[in-house]
Amino acid sequence: MDLTWSSAEDAFRAEARAWLEANLAAWRAECGGEPASGDTREGFAQHLGWERRLFADQWAAVSWPAEHGGRGASLWEWLLFEEEYYRAACPPRVTQNGIFLLAPSIFEFGNPDQQAGILARMAGADDLWCQGWSEPNAGSDLASVTSKARRVDGGWVLDGQKTWTTRGAFCTHLFGLFRTDPDSARHKGLTYFLLPLDTPGVTVRGFGRLDGDEGFAEVFFDDAFLADDAIPGGVVLGEAEGGWAVAMATAGSERGLTLRSPGRFVATAERLVTLANELGDAVLRRRAATAWMHAEAYQQQTLATVTKLAWGAKPGAEASLAKLWWSELDIELHQVALDLLGADAEVDGPWSKAWQFSLSGPIYAGTNEIQRNIAAERVLGLPR
């Protein structure tokens, strides 16, 4: 056990902290005050300004190689960056579904032309990617997707519907699963596509999430012709009909570390403790301390996980335990905050907003019921 950071890591942290502080202030000034929610049309546009600042100084995707706009940071440095990011109260990343969900799969399965054509534009917020997995009748049961793609001369014809697509109404591109073998069932015969949302025959309709922001969209495909060269390096990621394996790699990142690092929860926990020390009685201060411990435990467990990854282990089914933990932790943190605010918890504000979002945690990225099945079967070895 060595729970200290090296001087190089300390220096990295200090550099990140200084940059974030200076640029956050500059961006907020540019927005003329409190920016709107990134899940509204106006706020999304403001947040792109922030994303472009990050990219200009190689902070948009710190762990990526420099050739794609990153700075080749280690997993440890990435954790430190995330800690500093949320400690400074930087805004939610409107590019996250590209950078944290799609990009790991592009690195693993993409051809060199796809990598060169997609990654830097994604990190620079030139192309804005959303996820097209869920369908009205395919949520937890992802393998039941029915949206189809038919091979034609020079491309594919897409039909079907995707939904609950985060920030779909504001994005330019979509990554999604389509059935390419019409006779196939379940996991077989699915292909992972990359496509521009301005493809003729594709219609996007935004709609309100729980908090009313237009953060969701449904995407309709009506005989949409997707040319093979609509994306540099091709519109299929990985092998045709091999989409399930690619999707599962993305799901692994979504569940685990890269989507929800401990930094954001630790930062929320610190704010909660401050609130509890201002407003709370002994009971509420105790509850805040419990929630703080749960955030801190996620941090410690992550350090143990990253130690294993740093030695070359692959992320495994334990990622399901992490997803269960952070999603329930997030609700706990906000629940205590609402109780501290009392009657004023109903007033629109950062806590009530984030409380509503926390409720989605046990649903997205694979519901917690699915995660408990995975943990029981693949971590504990119980029979399917």
Partner 1 sequence: MRFALTEDQVAFRDAVRDLLAKECTPAVVRAASDAPAGKLDRGVWDSLREMGVLGLLVPEADGGLGLDETYLVPILEECGRAALPHPIVETAMVAARLLGADIGMVSTDLGGPNVPCATDADMLLLLRDDALIAVATSEVTLDPVATVDSARRAARVTAIPANPPPAPEPVPIELALDRGALGTAAMLVGLGQAMLDLTVGYVQERQQFGVPIGSFQAVKHHLADAALALEFARPAVWRAGWSVAHDQPTRARDVSMAKAMANDAAELVSRKALQCHGAIGYTVEADLHLFMKRAWALARSWGDTAHHTDRVASALDA
Q: Closest separation between CB of residue 133 and partner 1, Å?
A: 23
Q: Report strand pairing: 216-227 vs 202-207.
A: antiparallel
Per-position DSSP letters for 266-326, written without gaps between them: HHHHHHHHHHHHHH--HHHHHHHHHHHHHHHHHHHHHHHHHHHHHTTPPP-THHHHHHHHH
Alpha carbon distance 260, 371 (integer Å): 15
Q: Residue from 24, 285, 354, 364 that binds partner 1 (CB under 8 A)?
A: 285
| CB contact set of 51 (below 8 Å; sequence gap of 6+) | 60, 93, 94, 95, 124, 125
- Window contacting partner 1 (CB under 8 A); options: 56-64, 204-212, 259-267, 269-277: 269-277
Does the protein bind partner 1 through residue 25 (CB under 8 A)? no
**Active site (catalytic) residues:** 254
Q: Closest separation between CB of residue 80 and partner 1, Å?
A: 10
Work out the number of other CB atoms within 10 angstroms of the CB of residue 363: 14
Cα dihedral angle (358, 359, 362, 365), rounded to 10 degrees? -70
Does the protein bind partner 1 through residue 3 (CB under 8 A)? yes
Alpha carbon distance 197, 195 (integer Å): 6
Phi and psi, residue 210, nearest 5°:
-55, -40
- Is-contact 59 81, C-beta < 8 A? yes
Q: Residue from 29, 66, 282, 343 that binds partner 1 (CB under 8 A)?
A: 282
- Window contacting partner 1 (CB under 8 A); options: 26-34, 150-158, 159-167, 274-282: 274-282
Compare residues 197 and 306 and give the one whose CB is closer to partner 1. 306
- Window contacting partner 1 (CB under 8 A); options: 136-144, 249-257, 340-348, 370-378: 370-378
Compare residues 241 and 296 and give the one whose CB is closer to partner 1. 296
Alpha carbon distance 230, 175 (integer Å): 13
Does the protein bind partner 1 through residue 6 (CB under 8 A)? yes
Compare residues 314 and 384 and give the one whose CB is closer to partner 1. 384
Does the protein bind partner 1 through residue 325 (CB under 8 A)? yes
- Binders of partner 1 among 31-90, rule CB under 8 A? 76
Q: Closest separation between CB of residue 12 and partner 1, Å?
A: 12
Compare residues 48 and 329 and give the one whose CB is closer to partner 1. 329
366: which DSSP letter?
A: S
Compare residues 216 and 325 and give the one whose CB is closer to partner 1. 325
Compare residues 141 and 346 and give the one whose CB is closer to partner 1. 141
Compare residues 136 and 316 and give the one whose CB is closer to partner 1. 316
Q: Closest separation between CB of residue 247 and partner 1, Å?
A: 23
Per-residue x/- track, 290-309, partner 1 (CB under 8 A): x-xxx-xxx-xx-xx-xxx-
Q: Report strand pairing: 173-179 vs 129-132.
A: parallel
Indicate the SS3 state at residue 51. Answer: helix
Stretch (H or E) spanning 216? strand 216-227
- Binders of partner 1 among 209-268, rule CB under 8 A? none
Alpha carbon distance 86, 339 (integer Å): 23
Both tokens of 114, joined, read: 């796809």
- Is-contact 250 96, C-beta < 8 A? no
Q: Closest separation between CB of residue 326 and partner 1, Å?
A: 10
Contact residues for partner 1, defined by CB under 8 A: 1-6, 9, 76, 273, 276-277, 282, 285-286, 288-290, 292-294, 296-298, 300-301, 303-304, 306-308, 318, 321, 324-325, 369, 371-373, 375-377, 379-384
